[in-house]
Structures are given as structure tokens and as C-alpha cells.
């Protein structure tokens, strides 16, 4: 593979990690911070562990969905424009935030309003 392709794949991998982190932060905000106290019985400990599991799994699913839509937007729209590096970075980051927010809204609608998930 050419150096240009490897650089592009590494770039998109970094954007994937950013999407995953933003997705998990969104789930963290949605569910609330798990309490850090070690006191309590087995059920409270299990509840905290379950909350961490949900934040990681559902947050990553949200992040992957957001990355898929971001990839389509980036290839079809952002990449072909003649922009400076800063503007391209700004467009990409703002589009990731917007797409992740829209994925969170769709997830909320499907889970709580329509009860499909």
C-alpha cells in the first residue's frame, strides 16, 4: 500500500476513536455517573458494574453508527472541498458532534418513545 493510503487509514482510525469516546461520554451523561463507593451489598455492586457495561457497549454502538455516517459525509462532501487544514478539522469535528447527537436522539426515540429496542 502506498504511504498516502496508510496515512488516510490512520486518520480515519483516529476519527473512529474520537467517535467512540464521544459515544461513551454521551451514554455517561444519559445514564449518570456510577457511584464510586465500595460500600453496599452484592446487588449495588452488580448495578454499578452493569452501568459501566452499558456505558461501554451502547456508547460504542452509538459511536460506530456515528462514525459510519461521518465516513459517508466526509468522503462525499468534506474531502472534496478545497479547505484549509484547520477548517477541514473544524468541519469534521463539528459534524461528528452533530451526527453523534442525532444518533443519540434516534436511539432515545427507538428505546423510550417507540419501545423498539
Give 32-58 pLDDT, tens digit per residue.
776 666 666 777 777 778 888 888 999
Q: Could you give the CA distance from residue 105 to residue 117 in angstroms, rounded to a whole number?
A: 13
**Lookup: cell for 114:** 417507540
Alpha helix (H) residue ranges in the chain: 3-31, 42-73, 85-108
d(CA 112, CA 117): 8
49 grid coordinates: 458494574
Query: Domain map of the chain by residue range?
Result: 3-113
Model pTM score: 0.83
Amino acid at each position: 500500500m502506498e504511504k498516502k493510503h496508510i496515512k488516510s487509514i490512520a486518520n480515519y482510525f483516529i476519527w473512529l476513536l474520537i467517535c467512540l469516546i464521544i459515544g461513551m461520554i454521551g451514554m455517561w451523561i444519559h445514564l449518570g455517573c456510577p457511584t464510586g463507593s465500595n460500600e453496599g451489598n452484592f446487588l449495588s455492586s452488580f448495578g454499578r458494574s452493569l452501568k459501566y457495561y452499558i456505558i461501554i457497549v451502547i456508547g460504542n454502538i452509538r459511536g460506530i453508527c456515528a462514525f459510519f455516517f461521518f465516513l459517508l459525509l466526509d468522503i462525499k462532501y468534506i474531502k472534496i472541498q478545497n479547505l484549509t487544514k484547520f477548517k477541514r478539522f473544524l468541519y469534521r469535528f463539528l459534524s461528528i458532534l452533530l451526527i453523534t447527537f442525532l444518533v443519540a436522539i434516534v436511539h432515545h426515540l427507538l428505546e423510550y418513545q417507540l419501545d423498539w429496542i
